[in-house]
Amino acid sequence: MSDPTTSRRPRVAIAGLSLEASTFSPARTRIPDFHPQRGAEILASRPFWADGGALADAADWVPILQGRAIPGGPVPAEDYEALKAEILDGLRSAGHLDGMVFDIHGAMSVVGMDDAEGDLAVAIREVVGPDVIISTGMDLHGNVSWRLAHALDLLTCYRMAPHEDALDTKERAVRNLLARLALPPDQRRPLKAWIPIPILLPGEKTSTRIEPAKSLYAMVPQAEAVDGVLDAAIWIGYAWADEPRNCCVVMVTGDDEAVITAEAERIASEVWRRHEEFTFVAPAASLPESLDAAFASTARPYFISDSGDNPTAGGAGDVTWTLAELLADPRLAAPEVTALYASIPDAEAVEACIRAGVGAEVSLKVGARVDAGPSGPVQLTGTVRHITDGDPDAITEVVVQAGGLHVILTRSRKPYHLESDFVRNGLDPRTADIVFVKIGYLEPELFALAADWMLALTPGGADQDLLRLGHHRIARPTYPFDTGLLDPDLRARLVPMASTDCEKNTFLQRSAG
Ligand SMILES: [Zn+2]
């Protein structure tokens, strides 16, 4: 005999906006950049709840609106408000809900607004009420303000950078939610211990491939395994947005206040104890130093990250400073050298190459249409070697050869992570001498392919040298903007359970609690 109040599958809404936005980039992320998904498309986009997936029948899923943009600039307020309104309308008309999966990155910026995810979470809470359990699985480069932590019930994030566990994390957030929904209503909400740590570091210093992040993130599953803990997480935070919320945050959730407090404080104190040990994941140097190192080395292929304009961190992608330096370097003008440069988005230059055709000589001004950077458009004179269509981000890719340098131009902005991204363009990174990629740390496939690697500290919206970017709105003191800090308050704050009157204006987290 089944009891309809306990055997009923939970009804769980799905919605969210996922973006990492540099407030130092002049680019803007518009609605189409989110590739908004609705209804069944949302379910199809994650294998665990797609047809045949392990969680497909675990709930009555109510997919509403899911946007995921590649990193970029802030969202114009009117675009954000339109997406937010659609999510709220969808929730209002969803009928009874038991839970919600709030699928976000955590570093979205909206023009004129601080803490966009906090704003969205509070608005959602006001619509769904206090009894709906809301769970999120975020990027560890996201930010967790006090009000975001308050408005939600379950918060977790990736434990690996590069994010090889991204899908696992998204699934864990869903499984944690389902586990809580299996409990009686008065036991569903976990306690949340929250600790902001006054550090703000670029992802390229906090990869979990190396110390100290490797050991610090190893503490997370250990904490999760402790009795009384449901989940643990370290958000290293997002360095390229100048908002008061941006810093490192540790959260531990569970049912035992003493245990989650102790575990959160144990992790936070260790992060702080080691904060001055964070260094770049690869040898880092200026571009000229990186080039000298590459030419002095016999390691091939030698990779150089053009890190300041990394589109996966929010750079506009069309800063030409590095390309201009390379085109002026006589060592790369020699055709016996094979160097690959990925990439510069410039739709007009791509059109001009298509009109000229493969084999034609072209002389084009390229790049700097969104972010003029320090050098403006650069003159690229060379031979069109390849034209290809079909990449979902780049749309069209063109290769122009100038001496030994093969420059990939794209119709729209694309990060290059895979060997196939080059092979598709008729280029073989394995036999190249030097491969330049607009990226910070190399993604796993290129990391494995590189014989050696240097992180060039170049200018752009994701400049790795945070001190020259000019943050002025982050909470102070914060390392490395302030050094010699002693004894920050790393006691855990117990976040109140969500209510419909979440403190809308409380995002200045250092003083919260
Ligand atoms: Zn990330």
**pLDDT, tens only, 77-118:** 999 999 999 999 999 999 999 999 999 999 999 999 999 999
Q: Is the pLDDT of residue 384 over 70?
A: yes
Distance 337 CA to ligand 1 centre (A): 34
Structure confidence at residue 7 (pLDDT): 59
Distance 303 CA to ligand 1 centre (A): 21
Q: How many CA atoms lie within 13 A of 241 on its CB side?
A: 32
Distance 140 CA to ligand 1 centre (A): 6
Distance 384 CA to ligand 1 centre (A): 35
Q: Is the pLDDT of residue 502 over 90?
A: no
Q: Is the pLDDT of residue 453 over 80?
A: yes
Calculate what percentage of the chain has a pLDDT beyond 70. Answer: 96
- Cβ-defined contacts of 374-381 (< 8 Å, 24+): 374/319, 374/321, 374/459, 375/319, 375/320, 375/321, 375/324, 376/320, 377/320, 378/320, 378/323, 378/324, 378/327, 379/327, 380/323, 380/327, 380/349, 380/407
- Which amino acid is present at 432? A
For 469-497, the pLDDT digits (tens) are: 889 999 999 999 999 887 899 999 999 98
Distance 95 CA to ligand 1 centre (A): 34
Distance 354 CA to ligand 1 centre (A): 35
Q: How far apart are CA 108 and CA 163, in angstroms?
A: 18
Hey, is 324 helix, strand or coil?
A: helix
Distance 105 CA to ligand 1 centre (A): 8
Structure confidence at residue 489 (pLDDT): 95
Distance 18 CA to ligand 1 centre (A): 11
For 303-325, the pLDDT digits (tens) are: 999 999 999 888 999 999 999 99
| DSSP H stretches of helix in 93-139 | 116-128
For 189-201, the pLDDT digits (tens) are: 999 999 999 999 9
Calculate what percentage of the chain has a pLDDT beyond 90. Answer: 89
Q: Is the pLDDT of residue 512 over 60?
A: no
Distance 388 CA to ligand 1 centre (A): 29
Parallel, antiparallel or unpaired: strands 396-402 and 493-495: unpaired
Structure confidence at residue 94 (pLDDT): 97
Please say whether the beta carbons of 252 and 144 come within 8 A: no
Distance 226 CA to ligand 1 centre (A): 26
Distance 310 CA to ligand 1 centre (A): 12
Distance 166 CA to ligand 1 centre (A): 9
**pLDDT-derived band of residue 264, with 50, 70 and 90 as boundaries?**
very high
Backbone angles phi, psi at 233, to 5 degrees: -160, 145
For 339-353, the pLDDT digits (tens) are: 999 999 999 999 999
Distance 240 CA to ligand 1 centre (A): 12
Q: Is the pLDDT of residue 422 over 90?
A: yes
Q: E-strand spans in 72-214?
A: 99-102, 133-138, 154-157, 191-197
Q: How far apart are CA 314 and CA 308, in angstroms?
A: 10
Parallel, antiparallel or unpaired: strands 229-235 and 248-254: antiparallel
Structure confidence at residue 499 (pLDDT): 67
Distance 200 CA to ligand 1 centre (A): 14
Radius of gyration of the chain (CA): 24
Q: How many CA atoms lie within 13 A of 136 on its CB side?
A: 30
Distance 454 CA to ligand 1 centre (A): 20
Distance 123 CA to ligand 1 centre (A): 25
Structure confidence at residue 513 (pLDDT): 33
Average pLDDT, the chain: 94
Structure confidence at residue 282 (pLDDT): 85
Distance 82 CA to ligand 1 centre (A): 25
Structure confidence at residue 2 (pLDDT): 42
Query: Residues 209-226: what's their mean pLDDT?
Result: 97
Q: Is the pLDDT of residue 337 over 70?
A: yes
Distance 107 CA to ligand 1 centre (A): 9
The pTM of the full predicted model, rounded to 2 decimals, is: 0.89
Distance 158 CA to ligand 1 centre (A): 8
Distance 49 CA to ligand 1 centre (A): 23
Parallel, antiparallel or unpaired: strands 452-456 and 434-437: unpaired
Distance 407 CA to ligand 1 centre (A): 27
Distance 233 CA to ligand 1 centre (A): 14
Please say whether the beta carbons of 68 and 97 come within 8 A: no
Residue 190: alpha-carbon gap to chain centroid: 27
Distance 241 CA to ligand 1 centre (A): 13
Q: How far apart are CA 412 and CA 481, in angstroms?
A: 34
Could you tell me the two tokens for 459? 């200018």
Could you tell me the two tokens for 369? 């249409």
Q: Is the pLDDT of residue 251 over 80?
A: yes
Q: At 222, which helix (H) or strand (E)?
A: helix 213-224
Distance 329 CA to ligand 1 centre (A): 33
Structure confidence at residue 504 (pLDDT): 47
Q: How far apart are CA 20 and CA 140, in angstroms?
A: 11
Distance 161 CA to ligand 1 centre (A): 7
For 34-77, the pLDDT digits (tens) are: 999 999 999 999 999 999 999 999 999 999 999 999 999 999 99
Distance 312 CA to ligand 1 centre (A): 8
β-sheet bridge partners, residue 402: 405
Q: How far apart are CA 144 and CA 247, in angstroms?
A: 8
Distance 138 CA to ligand 1 centre (A): 9
Distance 502 CA to ligand 1 centre (A): 27
Best CA proximity match to 360, nearest among 399, 325, 326:
399
Structure confidence at residue 340 (pLDDT): 98
